[in-house]
Amino acid sequence: MTKQRKVAGLSGTKNEKIILSHQQIEGALFYLEDLLERAQIPFILLEGLARQVHDGVPYFSLNEINVGVEEKYLKETGQGFLKIVAPELYIDDNVISFEKGGVPITIWIIHKKWKFFQNPDTKFYGITEFKLPNPFEKYWRSRFLIK
């Protein structure tokens, strides 16, 4: 079963293969970090990006970026700020998505209080730090249930 997702400027399914360079992924990730920090919205890395940062992979090999934000941080002010700064965003009840430099970015809105998001681990990558699910291996085994 393929999961459909809407991304501003993109169409298709999540399973489409897109070849992206490490520089594209890194640039989009740092753009996303800046955007969410300016909106004062804490986020946590998810899926393949979380695995690669957790494992210390030096060069990203991904076809998209996935992060999670707890619902409580996206009340009217957070979403409003994001729409002002980045009007190309697609926002619904479960996801915020857009594209930056050819990289599909999905911000999953976390509605449930999952244990591994309550006390995230911090991992440095490049010149900054990112939050990861903790304990990571429990998250990794149940990551497909979260959305």
Structural domains of the chain in order of their starting residue, each with its CATH number: 22-141 (3.30.460.10)
pLDDT at 16: 57
Average pLDDT of span 73-98: 84
pTM of structure: 0.83
Name all contacts of 29-38 with Cβ < 8 Å and 24+ positions apart.
Answer: 29/60, 29/65, 30/126, 30/128, 31/100, 31/101, 32/65, 32/67, 32/100, 32/105, 32/107, 33/128, 33/130, 35/82, 35/85, 35/86, 36/67, 36/69, 36/107, 38/81, 38/85
pLDDT at 2: 30
pLDDT at 88: 84
pLDDT at 76: 66
pLDDT at 7: 41
Q: Quick check: 63 pLDDT over 60?
A: yes
Q: Quick check: 6 pLDDT over 80?
A: no
